[in-house]
Amino acid sequence: MTLNLASKKDWIAAAAEPLVREFETPLYVYSRERIESAYEAYAAAFAPAPHRICYALKANSSLALLKVLASKGAGADIVSGGELRQALRAGFRPEDIVFSGVGKTDEELALGLERGIGEFNVESESELRRLSALAASRGARAFVTLRVNPDVDPKSHPYISTGLRENKFGVPIEEAARILREARAMPGLEVSGVQCHIGSQLRDLGPATEAVKAIASLSRMLLGEGFALRTIDIGGGLGVDYDGTGAPAPTDLAALVLPQIKDLGLKLLLEPGRSLIAAAGALLTRVVAMKTNGARRFVITDAGMNDLLRPSLYSAYHHIENLSRGEETPLIQADIVGPVCESGDFFAKDRAIREPREGDLLVILDAGAYSFSMASNYNFRPRAAEVLLLGAVPRLIRRRETFEDLTGAEIE
Q: What is the DSSP string of 138-176?
A: HT--EEEEEEEE------S-GGGB--STTSSSSEEHHHH
Q: Considering beta carbons, is residue 104 or 274 the nearer one to ligand PLP?
A: 274
d(CA 376, CA 81): 19
- Dihedral sign for Cα 132, 137, 141, 142, please: negative
- Dihedral sign for Cα 226, 230, 235, 240, please: positive
Binder of ligand PLP out of 28, 77, 110, 371 (CB under 6 A): 77
d(CA 334, CA 137): 61
Q: Are 277 and 32 in contact (CB under 8 A)?
A: no
CB of 289 to ligand PLP, least distance (A): 34
Q: Considering beta carbons, is residue 236 or 338 the nearer one to ligand PLP?
A: 236
Question: According to the binding rule CB under 6 A, does residue 274 interact with ligand PLP?
Answer: yes
Question: According to the binding rule CB under 6 A, does residue 275 interact with ligand PLP?
Answer: yes
d(CA 349, CA 220): 49
Binder of ligand PLP out of 27, 38, 45, 59 (CB under 6 A): 59
Question: According to the binding rule CB under 6 A, does residue 286 interact with ligand PLP?
Answer: no
Q: Which stretch binds ligand PLP (CB under 6 A): 25-33, 82-90, 269-277, 321-329?
A: 269-277
Catalytic residue, chosen from 1, 185, 295, 341, is 341
Binder of ligand PLP out of 81, 150, 235, 248 (CB under 6 A): 235
Q: How far is CA 158 from CA 120, 167, 200, 315, in A?
A: 26, 10, 10, 11
Question: According to the binding rule CB under 6 A, does residue 200 interact with ligand PLP?
Answer: yes
Question: According to the binding rule CB under 6 A, does residue 58 interact with ligand PLP?
Answer: yes
CB of 361 to ligand PLP, least distance (A): 28
**196 is an active site residue:** no
Q: Considering beta carbons, is residue 53 or 303 the nearer one to ligand PLP?
A: 53
Helix axes 125-138 and 106-115, enclosed angle (nearest 10): 50
- Which residues are marked as active site? 341
Q: Which residues contact ligand PLP by CB under 6 A?
A: 56, 58-59, 77, 79, 100, 197, 200, 235-238, 271-275
